[in-house]
């Protein structure tokens, strides 16, 4: 693996020095994502370390080295070392004693190969020593990582029965790392055991789904989910693969930021009530729920040939994010190759315009002679509609004159 900077960083060396002072050379190795990503040239997000030391000895070793030890998952053997503000998650080698598909009872071991056998995919079952040399207990992890093969460790059905979330993780890892045809045995097992997903907590499902949708191009993985029947189990609603795939293509072609929440909205039908029910069932955050529901408003449908005046009117009504989301979904629903410049120009115009503030207040209405009460709001709304219809006239005097005319014409 060489000597990447994260492997030789002073804070990381300090953690390994502390563990080896307690357990001797090679008692700790990097594991999982950091090793996999280093092999395939991806950024390193987390530093995970596996060790033969039990959690109490890990904690003892860190304290002796004056490194902060946080018991983040002590029942499963995990202690987080915070070295120079950098977290290193340290987990004792384990084997499963029992599992019900949602949680496992584990026992600690000193056998690296035994620890590898309980992991999900071969490309995640890789360990690296301090010198960068790799230990590949399955014998396939390095080759599979470099080839983009997502293959379960051992029998796929057994891995899925151990942890039902691995069904979704398979498609997530295929979206992020997969190349070429998927592993047939893995897909068949995911399809056969898809109903196990219903046993999972909603938060675990939604978190995994949004991680999948955050991949640069998850189209092949999502279509694979649909073909396997897994997407239907997750969404429990009709889904729109064509719009989702078109949106993903537009994002790539136009260098738009990929937005997993909007991609999820693209998959759903234009039914706000159904979208709200799905968001609540998956326990999405309030912000994500509201964004999806607003994006799927069936009316008015945005068109690529809207005039600047129409764009400003709609933007004032909805706000920037809702307008942009609806525009992208409408673009994706249309022929992707059609009117590209018009759609791009529409979004650019919206992003470059800041809706003005309506110049009148309730105090202005009452100064015009309207008594305090519901009539104030009615007058304000009528004058605001006139102001919008006149393309946000930048003339408070004219707005006040209109206010006076409306006030005089109302019986109160």
As a whole number of angstroms, the distance between CA 159 and CA 161 comes to 6
Q: Stretch 149-178: mean pLDDT, rounded?
A: 96
As separate numbers, helices (DSSP H) first and strands (DSSP E) second, the chain gives 22, 9
Residues 195-233: pLDDT tens digits? 999 999 999 999 999 999 999 999 999 999 999 999 999
pLDDT tens digits, 123-133: 999 999 999 99
Question: What's the pTM?
Answer: 0.88
Question: SS3 of 284, please?
Answer: coil
The whole-number pLDDT of residue 101 equals 66
Sign of torsion over alpha carbons 398, 404, 409, 410: positive
Cα separation, 276 vs 289, whole angstroms? 6
> What is the share, in percent, of the chain residues with pLDDT greater than 90?
78
pLDDT attached to residue 145:
97
Domain spans of the chain, in order of start: 1-147, 155-236, 237-351, 362-409
The 10s digit of each residue's pLDDT in 22-59 is 999 999 999 999 999 999 999 998 899 999 999 999 99
pLDDT (tens digit per residue) in 90-141: 999 998 776 766 777 788 999 999 999 999 999 999 999 999 999 999 999 9
pLDDT at position 342: 86
User: What is the CATH architecture of 1-147?
Assistant: 2-Layer Sandwich (3.30)
Are the folds of 1-147 and 155-236 the same?
no
> 155-236: which CATH architecture?
Orthogonal Bundle (1.10)
């Amino acid at each position: 693996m060489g000597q990447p900077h994260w492997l030789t960083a002073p804070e990381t060396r300090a953690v390994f020095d502390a563990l080896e002072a307690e357990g001797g050379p090679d008692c700790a190795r990097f594991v999982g994502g950091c090793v996999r990503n280093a092999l395939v040239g991806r950024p390193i997000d987390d530093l995970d370390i596996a060790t033969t030391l039990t959690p109490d000895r890990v904690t003892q070793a860190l304290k002796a080295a004056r490194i902060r030890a946080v018991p983040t998952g002590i029942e499963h053997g995990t202690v987080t070392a915070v070295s120079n503000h950098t977290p290193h998650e340290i987990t004792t080698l384990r084997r499963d004693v029992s599992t019900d598909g949602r949680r496992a009872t584990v026992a600690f071991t000193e056998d690296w190969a035994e620890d590898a056998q309980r992991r999900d995919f071969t490309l995640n079952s890789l360990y690296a020593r301090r010198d960068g040399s790799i230990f590949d207990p399955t014998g396939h992890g390095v080759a599979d990582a470099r080839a983009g093969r997502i293959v379960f460790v051992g029998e796929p059905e057994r891995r899925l029965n151990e942890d039902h979330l691995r069904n979704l993780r398979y498609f997530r890892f295929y979206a992020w790392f997969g190349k070429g045809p998927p592993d047939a045995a893995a897909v068949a097992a995911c399809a056969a055991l898809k109903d196990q997903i219903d046993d999972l907590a909603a938060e675990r499902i939604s978190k995994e789904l949004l991680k999948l949708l955050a991949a640069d191009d998850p189209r092949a993985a999502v279509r694979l989910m649909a073909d396997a029947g897994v997407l239907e189990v997750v969404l429990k609603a009709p889904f729109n693969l064509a719009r989702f795939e078109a949106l993903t293509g537009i994002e790539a072609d136009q260098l738009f930021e990929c937005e997993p929440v909007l991609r999820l909205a693209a998959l759903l039908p234009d039914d706000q009530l159904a979208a709200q029910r799905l968001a609540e069932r998956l326990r999405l955050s309030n912000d994500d729920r509201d964004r999806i529901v607003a994006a799927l408003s069936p009316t008015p449908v945005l068109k690529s040939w809207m005039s600047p005046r129409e764009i400003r009117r709609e933007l004032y009504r909805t706000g920037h994010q809702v307008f942009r989301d609806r525009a992208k979904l409408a673009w994706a629903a249309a022929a992707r190759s059609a009117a590209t410049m018009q759609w791009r120009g529409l979004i650019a115009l919206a992003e470059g315009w800041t809706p003005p503030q309506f110049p009148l207040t309730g105090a202005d209405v009452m100064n015009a002679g309207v008594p305090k009460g519901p009539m104030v709001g009615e007058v304000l709304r009528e004058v605001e509609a006139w102001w919008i219809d006149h393309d946000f006239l930048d003339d408070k005097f004219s707005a006040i004159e209109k206010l006076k005319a409306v006030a005089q014409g109302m019986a109160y």
